[in-house]
A and B are shown apart, each in its own frame.
Chain A
Amino acid sequence: MPAETKRIEVTLETLLDSVSLAEDICLRIAASAGFDEDDCHKIGMSVREGVINAYRYGHDSQRGKKIHLVFELAPDKMVIRVIDHGPGFNLADVPDPLAEENLLKTSGRGIFLMRSFMDEFEVLRRRQGGAEVVMAKQYPASRGAGPGRRSANTKEE
Protein backbone atom coordinates (compact mmCIF):
# COMPACT_ATOMS: atom_id res chain seq x y z
CA MET A 1 0.00 0.00 0.00
CA PRO A 2 1.36 3.46 -0.90
CA ALA A 3 2.42 5.93 1.82
CA GLU A 4 0.88 8.74 -0.21
CA THR A 5 -2.21 8.69 -2.40
CA LYS A 6 -1.41 7.93 -6.02
CA ARG A 7 -3.89 9.06 -8.66
CA ILE A 8 -4.47 7.69 -12.15
CA GLU A 9 -6.98 9.27 -14.54
CA VAL A 10 -8.38 7.72 -17.71
CA THR A 11 -10.79 9.28 -20.21
CA LEU A 12 -12.92 6.94 -22.30
CA GLU A 13 -15.23 7.39 -25.24
CA THR A 14 -18.81 6.24 -24.82
CA LEU A 15 -18.29 2.97 -26.66
CA LEU A 16 -19.13 -0.63 -25.88
CA ASP A 17 -15.39 -1.44 -26.06
CA SER A 18 -14.72 1.07 -23.29
CA VAL A 19 -16.53 -1.18 -20.81
CA SER A 20 -14.01 -4.02 -21.09
CA LEU A 21 -11.11 -1.59 -21.48
CA ALA A 22 -12.02 0.08 -18.18
CA GLU A 23 -12.23 -3.29 -16.48
CA ASP A 24 -8.85 -4.39 -17.88
CA ILE A 25 -7.15 -1.19 -16.69
CA CYS A 26 -8.76 -1.56 -13.28
CA LEU A 27 -7.67 -5.18 -12.92
CA ARG A 28 -4.04 -4.22 -13.53
CA ILE A 29 -4.15 -1.41 -10.99
CA ALA A 30 -5.94 -3.54 -8.38
CA ALA A 31 -3.45 -6.39 -8.79
CA SER A 32 -0.51 -3.99 -8.48
CA ALA A 33 -2.09 -2.62 -5.28
CA GLY A 34 -1.97 -6.08 -3.72
CA PHE A 35 -5.55 -7.30 -4.01
CA ASP A 36 -6.00 -11.05 -4.43
CA GLU A 37 -7.74 -12.66 -7.39
CA ASP A 38 -11.18 -12.68 -5.78
CA ASP A 39 -10.98 -9.01 -4.77
CA CYS A 40 -9.66 -8.08 -8.23
CA HIS A 41 -12.67 -9.83 -9.76
CA LYS A 42 -15.07 -7.88 -7.54
CA ILE A 43 -13.34 -4.53 -8.10
CA GLY A 44 -13.07 -5.11 -11.86
CA MET A 45 -16.71 -6.07 -12.14
CA SER A 46 -17.74 -3.01 -10.11
CA VAL A 47 -15.85 -0.74 -12.51
CA ARG A 48 -17.42 -2.60 -15.42
CA GLU A 49 -20.88 -1.98 -13.97
CA GLY A 50 -20.07 1.67 -13.28
CA VAL A 51 -18.97 2.22 -16.88
CA ILE A 52 -21.98 0.30 -18.24
CA ASN A 53 -24.14 2.63 -16.17
CA ALA A 54 -22.45 5.70 -17.69
CA TYR A 55 -22.51 4.23 -21.21
CA ARG A 56 -26.11 3.07 -21.19
CA TYR A 57 -28.03 5.34 -18.83
CA GLY A 58 -25.80 8.39 -18.37
CA HIS A 59 -24.84 8.94 -22.00
CA ASP A 60 -27.48 6.87 -23.80
CA SER A 61 -24.65 5.43 -25.97
CA GLN A 62 -23.73 8.90 -27.37
CA ARG A 63 -20.11 8.46 -28.40
CA GLY A 64 -19.18 12.13 -28.16
CA LYS A 65 -19.65 12.24 -24.38
CA LYS A 66 -16.63 11.25 -22.31
CA ILE A 67 -16.52 8.89 -19.37
CA HIS A 68 -13.87 9.77 -16.80
CA LEU A 69 -12.31 7.15 -14.58
CA VAL A 70 -10.20 8.08 -11.59
CA PHE A 71 -8.26 5.53 -9.55
CA GLU A 72 -6.82 6.68 -6.23
CA LEU A 73 -4.49 4.41 -4.31
CA ALA A 74 -4.78 5.84 -0.81
CA PRO A 75 -2.74 4.49 2.12
CA ASP A 76 -5.60 2.24 3.31
CA LYS A 77 -7.88 1.70 0.31
CA MET A 78 -8.39 1.94 -3.42
CA VAL A 79 -10.95 4.58 -4.42
CA ILE A 80 -12.55 4.56 -7.88
CA ARG A 81 -14.61 7.33 -9.42
CA VAL A 82 -16.70 6.87 -12.57
CA ILE A 83 -17.87 10.23 -13.86
CA ASP A 84 -20.36 10.83 -16.67
CA HIS A 85 -22.06 13.85 -18.23
CA GLY A 86 -25.60 12.53 -18.22
CA PRO A 87 -28.62 13.72 -16.26
CA GLY A 88 -27.45 12.14 -12.99
CA PHE A 89 -29.61 10.04 -10.71
CA ASN A 90 -30.60 9.47 -7.11
CA LEU A 91 -29.84 6.14 -5.50
CA ALA A 92 -33.16 6.35 -3.69
CA ASP A 93 -34.93 6.19 -7.07
CA VAL A 94 -33.20 2.95 -8.10
CA PRO A 95 -35.58 -0.01 -7.58
CA ASP A 96 -34.42 -2.80 -5.27
CA PRO A 97 -33.57 -5.74 -7.59
CA LEU A 98 -34.09 -8.17 -4.70
CA ALA A 99 -37.73 -7.16 -4.20
CA GLU A 100 -40.10 -9.93 -5.22
CA GLU A 101 -41.73 -7.78 -7.90
CA ASN A 102 -38.32 -6.97 -9.48
CA LEU A 103 -36.70 -10.42 -9.52
CA LEU A 104 -37.76 -11.09 -13.12
CA LYS A 105 -36.74 -7.68 -14.44
CA THR A 106 -34.02 -7.86 -17.05
CA SER A 107 -32.11 -4.78 -15.86
CA GLY A 108 -31.37 -2.80 -12.72
CA ARG A 109 -28.76 -4.98 -11.00
CA GLY A 110 -25.60 -2.99 -11.75
CA ILE A 111 -25.86 -0.64 -8.77
CA PHE A 112 -26.66 -3.58 -6.52
CA LEU A 113 -23.54 -5.46 -7.66
CA MET A 114 -21.28 -2.44 -7.08
CA ARG A 115 -22.74 -2.01 -3.59
CA SER A 116 -22.29 -5.70 -2.85
CA PHE A 117 -18.72 -5.99 -4.09
CA MET A 118 -17.20 -2.79 -2.69
CA ASP A 119 -16.74 -1.62 0.91
CA GLU A 120 -17.96 1.91 0.24
CA PHE A 121 -20.33 3.14 -2.44
CA GLU A 122 -22.04 6.44 -3.11
CA VAL A 123 -23.37 8.48 -6.00
CA LEU A 124 -22.74 12.22 -6.23
CA ARG A 125 -24.79 14.55 -8.40
CA ARG A 126 -22.37 16.96 -9.98
CA ARG A 127 -23.35 20.64 -10.02
CA GLN A 128 -22.13 20.93 -13.59
CA GLY A 129 -24.31 17.95 -14.53
CA GLY A 130 -23.73 14.25 -14.54
CA ALA A 131 -23.23 11.51 -12.00
CA GLU A 132 -20.11 10.58 -10.09
CA VAL A 133 -20.08 7.03 -8.78
CA VAL A 134 -17.54 6.73 -5.96
CA MET A 135 -16.58 3.34 -4.61
CA ALA A 136 -13.76 2.05 -2.46
CA LYS A 137 -12.19 -1.21 -1.34
CA GLN A 138 -9.87 -1.51 1.61
CA TYR A 139 -6.56 -3.27 1.09
CA PRO A 140 -6.50 -6.76 2.62
CA ALA A 141 -3.95 -5.62 5.23
CA SER A 142 -6.18 -2.69 6.28
CA ARG A 143 -9.28 -4.79 6.94
CA GLY A 144 -10.21 -5.29 10.55
CA ALA A 145 -7.94 -2.46 11.64
CA GLY A 146 -10.79 0.01 12.04
CA PRO A 147 -14.50 -0.09 12.83
CA GLY A 148 -15.31 -1.07 9.24
CA ARG A 149 -17.85 0.88 7.30
CA ARG A 150 -20.19 0.13 4.45
CA SER A 151 -21.94 3.12 3.02
CA ALA A 152 -24.31 3.72 0.17
CA ASN A 153 -25.49 7.27 -0.23
CA THR A 154 -26.49 9.85 -2.78
CA LYS A 155 -25.08 13.31 -2.09
CA GLU A 156 -25.00 16.69 -3.75
CA GLU A 157 -21.41 17.48 -4.65
Chain B
Amino acid sequence: MNLRATARESGSVIVIDLSGRITLGEGSALLRQMIRENLGKGHKKIILNLGEVNYIDSSGIGELVSGYTTVTSQGGELKLLNLTKRVHDLLQITKLFTVFDVYSDERTAVRSFQ
Protein backbone atom coordinates (compact mmCIF):
# COMPACT_ATOMS: atom_id res chain seq x y z
CA MET B 1 0.00 0.00 0.00
CA ASN B 2 1.42 3.38 -1.01
CA LEU B 3 1.94 6.05 1.59
CA ARG B 4 -0.87 8.48 2.30
CA ALA B 5 -0.36 11.65 4.31
CA THR B 6 -2.60 14.38 5.66
CA ALA B 7 -1.65 17.31 7.86
CA ARG B 8 -3.80 18.90 10.56
CA GLU B 9 -3.24 21.53 13.22
CA SER B 10 -3.42 20.82 16.93
CA GLY B 11 -2.86 24.19 18.57
CA SER B 12 0.53 25.41 17.42
CA VAL B 13 1.58 21.91 16.42
CA ILE B 14 1.22 20.24 13.02
CA VAL B 15 0.30 16.55 13.13
CA ILE B 16 1.00 14.66 9.93
CA ASP B 17 -1.05 11.44 9.84
CA LEU B 18 0.70 8.80 7.75
CA SER B 19 -0.60 5.44 6.57
CA GLY B 20 0.96 2.78 4.37
CA ARG B 21 4.62 2.12 3.65
CA ILE B 22 7.53 4.54 3.81
CA THR B 23 9.88 3.02 1.28
CA LEU B 24 12.27 3.93 -1.53
CA GLY B 25 10.48 6.03 -4.14
CA GLU B 26 7.10 7.68 -3.73
CA GLY B 27 6.68 6.95 -0.01
CA SER B 28 9.93 8.59 0.99
CA ALA B 29 9.36 11.46 -1.45
CA LEU B 30 5.87 12.19 -0.07
CA LEU B 31 7.15 12.30 3.51
CA ARG B 32 9.93 14.69 2.47
CA GLN B 33 7.43 16.89 0.62
CA MET B 34 5.03 17.04 3.59
CA ILE B 35 7.74 18.06 6.04
CA ARG B 36 9.20 20.69 3.70
CA GLU B 37 5.78 22.11 2.85
CA ASN B 38 4.95 22.60 6.50
CA LEU B 39 8.36 24.06 7.29
CA GLY B 40 7.85 26.42 4.36
CA LYS B 41 4.62 27.62 5.93
CA GLY B 42 6.49 28.41 9.12
CA HIS B 43 5.33 25.34 11.07
CA LYS B 44 8.32 24.19 13.10
CA LYS B 45 6.59 21.95 15.62
CA ILE B 46 5.81 18.74 13.78
CA ILE B 47 4.50 15.37 14.91
CA LEU B 48 4.58 12.39 12.57
CA ASN B 49 1.72 10.06 13.48
CA LEU B 50 2.97 6.63 12.36
CA GLY B 51 0.04 4.67 13.80
CA GLU B 52 -0.94 3.31 10.38
CA VAL B 53 2.59 2.76 9.09
CA ASN B 54 3.63 -0.86 9.40
CA TYR B 55 6.57 -0.91 7.02
CA ILE B 56 9.64 1.29 6.68
CA ASP B 57 12.74 0.30 4.71
CA SER B 58 16.24 1.76 4.94
CA SER B 59 15.27 4.56 2.55
CA GLY B 60 12.27 5.43 4.74
CA ILE B 61 14.46 5.43 7.84
CA GLY B 62 16.81 7.78 6.01
CA GLU B 63 13.87 10.05 5.20
CA LEU B 64 12.80 10.17 8.86
CA VAL B 65 16.35 11.10 9.85
CA SER B 66 16.52 13.68 7.07
CA GLY B 67 13.23 15.20 8.26
CA TYR B 68 14.52 15.31 11.82
CA THR B 69 17.78 17.06 10.89
CA THR B 70 16.04 19.46 8.48
CA VAL B 71 13.47 20.56 11.08
CA THR B 72 16.05 20.76 13.87
CA SER B 73 18.45 22.81 11.74
CA GLN B 74 15.68 25.39 11.29
CA GLY B 75 15.12 25.68 15.01
CA GLY B 76 12.10 23.37 15.08
CA GLU B 77 11.28 19.99 16.56
CA LEU B 78 10.04 16.79 14.93
CA LYS B 79 8.56 14.05 17.12
CA LEU B 80 7.09 10.62 16.46
CA LEU B 81 3.72 9.31 17.61
CA ASN B 82 2.05 5.87 17.77
CA LEU B 83 4.73 3.51 16.51
CA THR B 84 3.56 0.09 15.33
CA LYS B 85 5.55 -2.84 16.73
CA ARG B 86 7.56 -3.32 13.55
CA VAL B 87 8.50 0.35 13.31
CA HIS B 88 9.27 0.41 17.02
CA ASP B 89 11.57 -2.61 16.64
CA LEU B 90 13.23 -1.06 13.59
CA LEU B 91 14.02 2.18 15.43
CA GLN B 92 15.30 0.18 18.35
CA ILE B 93 17.77 -1.97 16.41
CA THR B 94 19.01 1.06 14.45
CA LYS B 95 19.48 2.97 17.73
CA LEU B 96 17.26 5.78 16.44
CA PHE B 97 15.09 5.47 19.51
CA THR B 98 17.85 7.41 21.22
CA VAL B 99 17.51 10.19 18.63
CA PHE B 100 13.76 10.68 18.25
CA ASP B 101 11.30 11.85 20.86
CA VAL B 102 8.61 9.13 20.71
CA TYR B 103 5.08 9.25 22.18
CA SER B 104 2.16 6.85 22.34
CA ASP B 105 -0.42 9.50 23.27
CA GLU B 106 -1.17 12.48 21.03
CA ARG B 107 -2.14 14.88 23.81
CA THR B 108 1.13 14.20 25.64
CA ALA B 109 3.06 14.60 22.41
CA VAL B 110 1.42 17.96 21.66
CA ARG B 111 1.96 19.20 25.22
CA SER B 112 5.65 18.27 25.07
CA PHE B 113 6.25 21.22 22.72
CA GLN B 114 5.05 23.80 25.27
A associates with B? yes
Contacts of A89 in B (CB 8 A): none
Cβ–Cβ contact B58 & A52, under 8 A? yes
Contacts of B65 in A (CB 8 A): 103-106
Give the distance to chain B from A150, nearest Cβ to Cβ, in Å: 14
What mask results when residues 107 to 122 of chain A are scored 1 for a CB within 8 Å of chain B, else 0?
A: 1011011001000000
Give the distance to chain A from B45, nearest Cβ to Cβ, in Å: 20
By DSSP majority rule, is chain A's interface helix, strand, loop, or mixed? Answer: helix
By DSSP majority rule, is chain B's interface helix, strand, loop, or mixed? Answer: helix
Residue total for B at the interface (Cβ-Cβ under 8 A): 21
A76 interface residue (CB < 8 Å to B): no
A45 interface residue (CB < 8 Å to B): yes
Q: How far is the CA of A16 from the CA of B57 in the complex (A)?
A: 14
Q: How far is the CA of A104 from the CA of B60 in the complex (A)?
A: 13
Checking A41, A56, A103, A110 against B96 with a beta-carbon cut-off of 8 angstroms, the contacting residue is A103
What mask results when residues 50 to 73 of chain B are scored 1 for a CB within 8 Å of chain A, else 0?
A: 000001011101110110110000
Can you add 15 more A-B contacts, CB < 8 Å, to A106-B63, A107-B59, A109-B58? A16-B24, A16-B25, A20-B23, A41-B86, A45-B57, A48-B57, A98-B95, A103-B65, A103-B98, A104-B65, A104-B68, A106-B66, A109-B61, A109-B94, A116-B93
List the interface of chain A (C-beta within 8 A of B).
16, 19-20, 41, 45, 48-49, 52, 56, 97-98, 103-107, 109-110, 112-113, 116
